[in-house]
């Protein structure tokens, strides 16, 4: 054979081999409809790894997003705030402090055991004693449990709590298998056992959580067998993975990438205003932030509209106060501190800081928070406050905040029910300093008394007035600067159907199907 012909044949073979190699680099599914018939795995990109998969050990959205696929609760709550049965077949509020539940029969845990009333007692009692979620379940009288039979249980609260039933839909109300928890001990958060549609397979910390369909699930059978939740912190990398078919769903699409997804005929974008508020918090127990005039001065010194519009560019909205606008009793007429540099300088001088001071501002690695921190740093420089920004990894960030080591910090709080109690009690109550969600270590007797009173009375004009009074008092005391209200922005392949977003920060991925 002639040398030229051999060369052409060799080149042709190389091209064929390269095309074959490239076709094999799709990264787990691709986003073309031709693959849908055989697709049996959902791959989701998320920004943060879970801290734990023990629902009584943590209270963060990243962990809840995974746990929602693994566990069930006694009741669920829909986007309109309606409470519906889950593993409870029926539920009843017997009197103002007593609740009775009749359980569905035959529900299996992932280890094969049947869920019974003893497991419910164990789980709810454990939740009540958990420092991470005591602000949600601490009102439960742990001596009051009565088990009539394997499927009937009742218990009491120490005090009336209007939002309690909806709180049971929080992931902290998940039902655990007592035997599994006791067998794993402190390691249970790495080997969870629930009754949900997907069961735990593996967790490579910082990389991915792998789940598989639970064959004995009591509800509607999922339409796919495997779920992988990948941790991809860099937002553009999440978008690239979605475009290339490496993932089917990508959380937290940033403003930089929205148009890329909208203009891609193989992709789709889902959006929903959620129940989150992003805020700049002060450690109210540390100088100089223990002085209300300093906190108010910083509130005046920050142009929140500029911060939010520059960073978020049409995602979410400028915060109106300490509560997300869709939460019951949010006060839309509240008057927050408006941008006023001269007023800020005046208050700093009155507080003894005419030339400002040096301080640190913490945030985690979320790009929008880093960007907000940078703008805030620049704006505070105008009133003499020299800000050093420190960026921490998510898990270390939460741990450090709970210890009270921070000066200023940026974080979000999501109301994971529709009730104002959960929106405000966690981040503002004296009972939740550090270990709960009060990372600003805010102590105000008036707010605390109103928070307690608000959860004790039934929904009424009086209850609404209490929560509006709380919101106005918080604005006055300025433990935070209210920055933005959140919006879930999720990208997915066009073949992903029934992606159901919720305003609570976590989403039921098990309802998805491919078409």
CATH for 128: 3.90.76.10
Q: Is residue 278 located within the same domain as residue 187?
A: no
Q: What angle do CA 370, 371, 373 make, to 5 degrees?
A: 65
Task: Give the domain-ending residue among 191, 211, 233.
Answer: 191
With beta carbons less than 8 A apart as the criterion, state whether 411 and 418 touch: no
Report the distance separating Cα 61 and Cα 303, nearest Å. 28
Q: What pLDDT is recorded for position 1?
A: 44
φ/ψ of 456, rounded to 5, equals -90, -20
Q: Is residue 183 located within the same domain as residue 283?
A: no
With beta carbons less than 8 A apart as the criterion, state whether 266 and 30 touch: no
Dig out the tokens for 316 from the structure. Answer: 């979410």
Q: Nearest to residue 495, comparing CAs of 25, 31, 26, 143?
A: 31
Q: What pLDDT is recorded for position 32?
A: 54
**Domain, as residue range, for 160:** 61-191
With beta carbons less than 8 A apart as the criterion, state whether 481 and 408 touch: no
In a domain, 502, yes or no: no
In a domain, 87, yes or no: yes
Q: Is residue 316 located within the same domain as residue 185?
A: no
Phi-psi region of 178 (alpha: psi -120 to 50; beta: other; left: phi over 0): alpha
Q: What pLDDT is recorded for position 382?
A: 98
Q: What pLDDT is recorded for position 31?
A: 54
In a domain, 392, yes or no: yes
> What is the residue-wise DSSP string for 259-307?
HHHHT-TTEEEEEEEEEEEEEEEE-TTSTTTTSHHHHHHHHHH--HHHH
In a domain, 259, yes or no: no
In a domain, 68, yes or no: yes
Q: Nearest to residue 450, comparing CAs of 472, 480, 418?
A: 472
Report the distance separating Cα 276 and Cα 504, nearest Å. 8
Task: Give the domain-ending residue among 191, 223, 251.
Answer: 191
Q: Is residue 409 located within the same domain as residue 315?
A: yes
Report the distance separating Cα 417 and Cα 170, nearest Å. 7
In a domain, 321, yes or no: yes
Dig out the tokens for 426 from the structure. Answer: 């966690």
| List of the chain residues with pLDDT < 50 | 1-30
Task: Give the domain-ending residue among 191, 207, 228.
Answer: 191
With beta carbons less than 8 A apart as the criterion, state whether 211 and 217 touch: no
Q: What pLDDT is recorded for position 80?
A: 74
CATH number for the domain harbouring residue 368:
3.10.105.10
In a domain, 356, yes or no: yes
Q: Who's near 391: CB < 8 A, 6+ residues apart?
A: 362, 363, 364, 365, 370
Report the distance separating Cα 138 and Cα 471, nearest Å. 23
Confidence (pTM)? 0.85
In a domain, 39, yes or no: no
Q: Is the peptide bond before 147 cis (omega within 30 degrees of 0)?
A: no
Count of domains in the chain? 2
Q: Is residue 327 located within the same domain as residue 467?
A: yes
Tokens 């095309």 sit at which residue? Answer: 19
Q: Who's near 82: CB < 8 A, 6+ residues apart?
A: none
Q: What pLDDT is recorded for position 293?
A: 98
- How far is the CA of 129 from the CAs of 114, 124, 141, 172, 466, in angstroms? 24, 9, 10, 11, 28
């Amino acid at each position: 054979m002639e040398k030229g012909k051999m060369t052409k044949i060799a080149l042709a073979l190389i091209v064929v081999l390269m095309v074959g190699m490239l076709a094999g680099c799709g990264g787990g599914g691709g986003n073309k409809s031709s693959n849908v018939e055989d697709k049996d795995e959902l791959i989701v990109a998320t920004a943060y790894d879970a801290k734990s998969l023990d629902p009584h050990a943590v209270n963060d959205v990243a962990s809840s997003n995974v746990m929602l696929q693994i566990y069930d609760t006694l009741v669920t709550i829909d986007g309109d705030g309606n409470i519906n049965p889950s593993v409870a077949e029926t539920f009843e509020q017997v009197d103002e402090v007593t609740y009775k539940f009749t359980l569905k029969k035959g529900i299996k845990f992932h280890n094969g055991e049947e869920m019974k009333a003893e497991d419910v007692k164990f789980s709810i009692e454990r939740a009540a004693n958990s420092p991470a979620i005591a602000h949600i379940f601490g009102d439960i009288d742990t001596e009051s449990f009565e088990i009539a039979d394997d499927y009937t249980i009742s218990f009491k609260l120490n005090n009336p709590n209007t939002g309690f039933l909806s709180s049971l839909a929080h992931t902290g109300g998940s039902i655990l298998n007592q035997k599994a928890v006791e067998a794993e001990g402190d390691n249970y958060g790495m080997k969870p056992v629930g009754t949900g549609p997907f069961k735990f397979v593996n967790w490579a910390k910082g990389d991915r959580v792998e789940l598989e369909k639970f064959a004995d699930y009591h509800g509607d059978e999922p339409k796919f067998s495997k779920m992988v939740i990948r941790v991809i912190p860099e937002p553009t990398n999440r978008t690239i993975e979605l475009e290339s078919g490496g993932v089917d769903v990508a959380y937290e699409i940033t403003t930089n990438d929205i148009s890329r997804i909208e203009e891609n005929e193989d992709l789709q974008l889902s959006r929903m205003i959620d129940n989150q508020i992003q805020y700049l918090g002060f450690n109210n127990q540390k100088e100089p932030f223990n002085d209300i005039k300093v906190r108010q001065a910083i509130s005046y010194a920050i142009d929140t509209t500029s911060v939010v519009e520059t960073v978020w560019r049409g995602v979410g909205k400028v915060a109106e106060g300490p509560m997300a606008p869709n939460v019951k009793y949010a006060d839309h007429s509240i008057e927050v501190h408006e941008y006023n540099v001269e007023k800020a300088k005046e208050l700093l001088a009155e507080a003894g800081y005419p030339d400002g001071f040096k301080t640190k501002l913490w945030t985690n690695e979320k790009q929008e928070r880093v960007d907000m921190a940078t703008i805030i740093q620049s704006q505070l420089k105008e009133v003499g406050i020299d800000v050093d920004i420190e960026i921490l990894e998510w898990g270390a960030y939460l741990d450090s905040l709970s210890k009270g080591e921070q000066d200023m910090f940026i974080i979000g709080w999501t109301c994971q029910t529709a009730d104002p109690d959960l929106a405000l009690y966690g981040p503002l109550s004296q009972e939740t300093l550090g270990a709960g969600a009060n990372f600003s270590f805010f102590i105000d007797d008036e707010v605390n008394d109103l928070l307690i009173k608000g959860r004790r009375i039934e929904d009424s004009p009086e209850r609404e007035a209490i929560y509006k009074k709380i919101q106005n008092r918080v604005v006055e005391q300025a433990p935070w600067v209210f920055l933005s209200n959140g919006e879930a922005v999720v990208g997915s392949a066009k073949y992903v159907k029934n992606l159901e977003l919720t305003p609570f920060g976590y989403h039921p991925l098990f309802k998805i199907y491919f078409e």
